[in-house]
């Protein structure tokens, strides 16, 4: 079967190790599989659902584009574009918002987390953002959507929206119901400061995450300061439920090496943390530093990045304009 992949990343600055291990690393693997077409979107319309600085948006879009490329996404093999340059995304989001139900959106936990205590002051965009995400996916007939674990509920909503649209407008199979691609292990990278909190760009402490633009000293310092516990490294049979920080650091190590958690446990069993942390820092430097350097290099040539987005947008427009035209026809416009 031919696979059609769609995924997106917000250009809100500070892309981090969670974005890389939970999503972008898998984009690259999928791109290199046979019989697979990939579309990767810099979702700039999603980035305005919270307060943003207009002076920084354009550069953040370029930085996310540079990050895609530095991580191994090849614009010759995959479509890379930014969402706001293809109007079908906003149009599709409006139409699908008339298909979606309030009750469905009211269940979205990410809105509750992001809106915080003062929901009255959150933007409508933040509330309806999963509908825009559904439009992104459905416009490209995506069969598979690689994401981190935090997007699981949004993908279930996308599936519900597609099924309801097909039912309401008597168009069986018209909107393709996508499969989420969420890794079984390491799909939720946690904060370096608190193993129960997700690694996130909105965490006020920069020590909580490894940014993909961090340099060698920053990586070493952050791993040195990463929270652990007074015990030694676990034995293979130890469960890590009560040691979330240890589980997270071992998970990061395993994911970077594409190896099983048990193998990493075996490697460090009973050792001191300092030895593990030194090895983890070395590995992060080996894997992340070349990405960080390449992002910086690519950002020196803004025109080149803008051209990649422009070419990608033309291709994305060709696909999505046909789909939106058909959607409108089915609705009776």
Per-residue tokens: 143? 């069969």
* Binds ligand TYM by CB under 6 A, chosen from 7, 60, 143, 248: 7
* 170-209 residues near ligand TYM, rule: CB under 6 A: 187-189, 198-199
Per-residue tokens: 280? 């983890």
Site string for ligand TYM, 291-330 (x = CB under 6 A): ----------------------------------------
* 147-166 residues near ligand TYM, rule: CB under 6 A: 147-148, 150-151
Q: Assign residue 13 a region: left if phi > 0, alpha if psi is -120 to 50, beta otherwise? A: left
* Binds ligand TYM by CB under 6 A, chosen from 28, 70, 71, 137: 137
Residue 65 to residues 108, 270, 272, 290, 298, Cα–Cα distance (Å): 28, 42, 39, 16, 9
Minimum distance from residue 137 beta carbon to ligand TYM (Å): 5
* Binds ligand TYM by CB under 6 A, chosen from 4, 5, 6, 25: 6
CA 142 remoteness from chain centre: 16
What are the catalytic residues? Answer: 114, 198, 201
Minimum distance from residue 31 beta carbon to ligand TYM (Å): 15
Lateral strand order in the sheet of 144-146: 79-82, 36-42, 3-9, 144-146, 179-181
Work out whether 136 is an interface residue with ligand TYM (CB under 6 A).
Answer: yes
Cβ proximity to ligand TYM: between 48 and 269 the closer is: 48
State which H helix or E strand residue 244 sits in: helix 244-257
Q: Interface with ligand TYM by CB under 6 A: which range of 5-13, 66-74, 239-247, 315-323? A: 5-13
CA 250, CA 259: separation in Å to the nearest integer? 10
- CB neighbour list of residue 55: distance below 8 Å, 6 or more residues apart: none
CA 117, CA 276: separation in Å to the nearest integer? 39
Work out whether 248 is an interface residue with ligand TYM (CB under 6 A).
Answer: no
Contact positions vs ligand TYM (CB under 6 A): 6-10, 18-19, 22-23, 43, 46, 133, 136-137, 145, 147-148, 150-151, 187-189, 198-199
């Amino acid at each position: 079967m031919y696979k059609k992949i769609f995924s997106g990343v917000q250009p809100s600055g500070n892309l981090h190790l969670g974005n890389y291990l939970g999503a972008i690393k898998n984009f690259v693997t999928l791109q290199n599989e046979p019989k697979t077409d990939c579309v990767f979107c810099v979702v700039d319309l999603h980035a305005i659902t919270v307060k943003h600085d207009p002076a920084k948006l354009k550069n953040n879009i370029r930085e996310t584009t540079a990050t895609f490329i530095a991580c191994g996404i090849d614009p010759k093999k995959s479509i890379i574009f930014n969402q706001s340059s293809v109007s079908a995304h906003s149009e599709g989001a409006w139409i699908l918002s008339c298909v979606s139900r309030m009750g469905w959106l009211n269940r979205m936990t990410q809105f509750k987390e992001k809106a915080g205590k003062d929901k009255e002051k959150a933007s409508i965009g933040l509330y309806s953002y999963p509908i825009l995400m559904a439009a992104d996916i459905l416009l490209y007939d995506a069969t598979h959507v690689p994401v981190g674990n935090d997007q699981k509920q949004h993908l279930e909503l996308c599936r519900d929206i597609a099924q309801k649209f097909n039912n309401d407008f008597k168009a069986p199979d018209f909107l393709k119901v996508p499969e989420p691609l969420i890794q079984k292990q390491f799909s939720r990278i946690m904060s370096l400061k608190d193993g129960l909190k997700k690694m996130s760009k909105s965490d006020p402490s920069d020590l909580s995450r490894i940014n993909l633009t961090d340099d060698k000293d920053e990586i070493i310092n952050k791993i040195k300061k990463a929270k652990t516990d007074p015990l030694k490294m676990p034995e293979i049979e130890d469960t890590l439920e009560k040691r979330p920080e240890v589980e997270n650091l071992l998970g990061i190590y395993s994911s970077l090496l594409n190896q099983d958690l048990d193998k990493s446990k075996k490697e460090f069993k009973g050792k001191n943390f300092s030895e593990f942390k030194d090895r983890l820092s070395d590995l992060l430097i080996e894997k992340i530093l070349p990405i960080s350097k390449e992002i910086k290099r690519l950002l020196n040539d803004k025109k080149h990045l803008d051209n990649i987005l422009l070419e990608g947008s033309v291709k994305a427009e060709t696909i999505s304009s046909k789909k939106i035209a058909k959607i409108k026809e089915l609705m009776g416009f």
